[in-house]
Amino acid sequence: MASTLTPAPLNVTIREQITIGKTDYGATTRYTVDNVKEISRRLITTNGTGSTELIRFMPSASAGQYINTDVRYLRVTNLDNSNFTTLRFKGLGGTDYACRLDPTSSYVVMTTQPSGSSNAGVTGYGDINGITLTSLKNITAFADTSAVDLELFVASV
């Protein structure tokens, strides 16, 4: 059976609004991902202060696993209003980095590399030394003091 779905563009807008004194310092940035064929949106509750795997990247797709060269946009949002979580990005070959995701904040990964590029998808994100990029293997979350609710949004071509 042939698919009846037509790939569509994903439009992302980031907008900052602030006026200090009488000067507007706001900004708007727009980003478009063409030919998106797959969208995944999940709400995930972490398992307390232990590790919770949010997403895995591999050459083939399966439950909770995405094709690393096809992912073009990924957002993790902390829906908790008082607890932070730490996101750990682990790359192939043991490279990794981590960042703190404060209450109600988001972390976004976007790529403009087309399919066929050596850096397509999340293949070029896993920077540990500032100079060596490797493919992402997975993203896990470690809650601060108790379980937190996270939203995961993934767009793939």
Instruction: Dump pLDDT digits (tens) for 38-89.
Output: 999 999 999 887 899 999 988 888 877 898 888 889 999 999 999 999 999 8
> Is-contact 122 139, C-beta < 8 A?
no
109 beta partners? 74
26-38 confidence digits (pLDDT tens): 999 998 999 999 9
Model pTM score? 0.84
Domain ranges of the chain: 38-156
93-152 confidence digits (pLDDT tens): 676 889 999 999 999 988 755 555 555 555 554 444 555 566 778 999 999 889 999 999
Q: Which CATH code of 3.40.50.150, 2.60.120.10, 3.30.479.10, 2.40.70.10 fits the domain covering 38-156?
A: 2.60.120.10
